[in-house]
Amino acid sequence: MPLSCSIKPAASPATGLLGLNMIKLLFFGRLGDFAEGVAPNIEARADLTPAKIRDLLAADHPALFAELSQPQVLISLNQMIVGWEQPVFDGAELAFLPPVTGG
C-alpha cells in the first residue's frame, strides 16, 4: 500500500545501515500486526516528533493510528523512552510499543 506523500519509503541501502536523512521505524509486538505495509524507514525532516509521525500514518493506516492512540503506548528513541513531543533526528531508530497491562 503506498504511503501518503508526506512519508516517503526509503530504499534500503545495500550496507544495511541507515542513510542520512532517514528514521527507522519499529512497531513492537502486536503493533506489528497493524503496521503491515508501513515503510520501515521514513525520510527525516525538520520538526518531526513521534506525535507527528503517528498523525502522518493516520490516513493510510487507520487501524495502526487507532492502536497508537491508546493510552500507555511507550515510545523509544534509540532505546531511550521518550514522550510524544520529543524531536526525532536523522538516523534515529524510533520504536512504538503497545501497552501491556495484565497480570
Nearer to another protein, 11 or 66 (CB): 66
Question: Contact positions toward another protein, by CB under 8 A?
Answer: 28-30, 32, 70-72, 74, 76, 79-81, 95, 97-103
Question: What is the smallest separation between the CB atom of 33 and another protein, expressed in angstroms?
Answer: 9
Radius of gyration of the chain (CA): 13
Rounded to 5 degrees, φ, ψ at 64 are: -65, -45
**Cβ at position 13, least distance to another protein in Å:** 23
Residue among 16 and 102 whose Cβ is closer to another protein: 102
Shortest approach of another protein to residue 2 CB, angstroms?
A: 26
The minimum distance between CB 75 and another protein, in angstroms, equals: 10
CB 72 within 8 A of CB 57: no
**Secondary structure element (H or E) that encloses residue 63, with its range:** helix 62-68
DSSP code of residue 101: -
Nearer to another protein, 29 or 62 (CB): 29
- The answer to whether residues 48 and 80 touch, using CB atoms and an 8 Å cutoff, is no
